[in-house]
């Protein structure tokens, strides 16, 4: 009886590896005299699960604060102008000197103006002397009149005393018939009139006031003379070239004593340096770093101390030539330690702004314009789309799509697939 030919048994490619493993276990079991268990077979199948290294996403410092070079500049500049024409008699300041508002920079002289001032001054003195003489004369007249009245009072009192004695004697004579009644009457009348005159004189003496202290005409003349002198003196102030504000003399025309200066001549410039301006030119990216800040930190190269300055101007329009935006800081400078032309540095970001969520750059998988990270989700990995930020050495900032503490795959992420099961191991 013919035996049937057996058909060849084919193992599909998908199960070939498992078959080989089972045969191997069977061979080993035959050698050992035991039968392989189900757990051993499952363990053999897990050999194909990939082992990946992961790290915890954390916040890290992504470099030092961003600084840009800047220059110190005057907050304002004014011209030094001569308000009067004359000849330079003295220079009290030179280029680079500090001048306080109202301080004299140069003195001018003018023969005509000085003569006019002398005449006005003499007119004031003349008016003052006239008033003084008038007061002296009035006082002398008052004293003479007062003395005359005093003498008259004494004489009348003496006359009354003599008349009284005569009257008493005549009355005695009248009593004995040695004098007539008419004689007695005349003496009485004379004595009465004299006493009346004395009383009136004493009243005038008491009413005699001190001389008037006001002389209207003379005083009016003095006031007019003083006003004229003040006007001349005010005009003489124009011959003092003064600082229009407190600052630094940045430019001063070559001047020498004896040189003539016309009225309205521009003699130099004075820069206001308190507050002082700090200027910087920024790129569009730099402007975004400023954001809504109202003040920035600035430093002087070579100094460790940093200070704050208020943002006084930030251009909204790019300069077409430099393709930059102008930034101005306004900084108090009472001690004038900052001068125009000094080189400074403006800090656009602070230390805390340099901290960000970051992972190693090699953990990022780039596919065209898209960027991905593989993040552990249980026993599998999740392919997560992220947005990138700053780069600092080997670290990449992640600004969206990742949370602090997420476990990120850092070993061969490009060989993984979304939802693929892996075995995680902490990266060294």
Where in 193-292 does DSSP place strands (E)? 240-242, 247-252, 260-261, 266-282
- What one-character DSSP code corresponds to residue 154? H
407 in Cβ contact with 54 (< 8 Å): yes
pTM score above 0.75: no
Q: Which residue is it, tokens 């009067």?
A: 84
Q: What is the pLDDT along the chain (428 residues), one digit of tens a residue?
A: 334 333 333 333 333 333 433 334 433 344 444 445 545 544 544 558 899 999 999 999 988 899 999 999 999 999 999 999 999 999 999 888 999 999 999 999 988 888 998 999 999 999 999 989 988 998 898 899 999 999 999 999 999 999 999 999 999 999 988 889 999 999 999 999 999 999 999 998 888 877 766 788 998 999 999 999 999 988 889 999 999 989 999 888 777 888 899 999 998 899 999 999 999 999 999 999 999 999 999 998 888 889 999 999 999 999 999 999 999 999 999 988 899 999 999 999 998 989 999 999 999 999 999 999 999 999 999 999 999 998 988 999 999 999 999 999 999 999 999 999 999 988 77
Q: Which residues contact 336 (CB under 8 A, 6 or more apart)?
A: 98, 248, 273, 274
Closest C-alpha among 271, 304, 363 to residue 72 = 271
């Amino acid at each position: 009886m013919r035996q049937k030919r057996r058909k060849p048994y084919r193992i599909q490619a998908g199960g070939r590896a498992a078959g080989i493993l089972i045969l191997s276990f069977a061979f080993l079991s035959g050698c050992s005299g035991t039968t392989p268990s189900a757990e051993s077979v499952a363990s053999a199948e897990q050999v194909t699960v990939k082992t990946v290294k992961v790290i915890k996403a954390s916040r890290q410092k992504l470099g030092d604060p961003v600084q840009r070079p800047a220059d110190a500049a005057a907050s304002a500049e004014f011209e030094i102008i001569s308000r009067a024409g004359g000849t330079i008699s003295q220079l009290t300041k030179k280029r680079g000197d500090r001048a306080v508002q109202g301080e004299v920079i140069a003195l001018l002289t003018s023969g005509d103006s000085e003569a006019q001032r002398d005449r006005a001054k003499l007119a004031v003195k003349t008016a003052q002397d006239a008033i003084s003489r008038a007061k002296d004369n009035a006082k002398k007249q008052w004293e003479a009149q007062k003395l005359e009245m005093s003498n008259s009072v004494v004489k009348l009192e003496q006359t009354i005393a003599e008349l009284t004695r005569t009257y008493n004697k005549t009355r005695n004579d009248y009593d004995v018939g040695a004098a007539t009644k008419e004689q007695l009457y005349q003496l009485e009348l004379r004595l009465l009139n004299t006493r009346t005159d004395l009383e009136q004189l004493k009243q005038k003496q008491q009413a005699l006031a001190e001389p008037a202290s006001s002389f209207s005409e003379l005083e009016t003349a003095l006031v007019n003379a003083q006003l004229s002198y003040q006007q001349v003196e005010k005009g003489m102030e124009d011959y003092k070239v003064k600082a229009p504000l407190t600052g630094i003399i940045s430019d001063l025309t070559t001047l020498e004593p004896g040189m003539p200066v016309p009225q309205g001549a521009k003699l130099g410039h004075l820069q206001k340096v308190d507050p002082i301006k700090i200027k910087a030119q920024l790129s569009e990216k730099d402007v975004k770093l400023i954001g809504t800040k109202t003040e920035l930190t600035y430093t002087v190269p070579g100094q460790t101390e940093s200070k704050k300055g208020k943002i006084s101007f930030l251009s909204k329009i790019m300069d077409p030539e430099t393709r930059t935006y102008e930034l101005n800081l306004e900084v108090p400078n009472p001690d004038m330690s900052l001068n125009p032309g000094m080189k400074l540095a403006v800090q656009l970001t602070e230390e805390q702004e340099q901290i960000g969520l970051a992972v190693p750059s090699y953990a990022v998988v780039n596919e065209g314009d898209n960027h991905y990270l593989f993040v552990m989700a249980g026993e599998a990995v999740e392919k997560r789309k992220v947005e990138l930020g700053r780069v600092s050495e080997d670290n990449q900032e992640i600004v969206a799509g990742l949370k602090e503490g997420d476990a990120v795959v850092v070993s061969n992420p490009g060989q993984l697939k979304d939802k693929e099961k892996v075995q995680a191991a902490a990266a060294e």
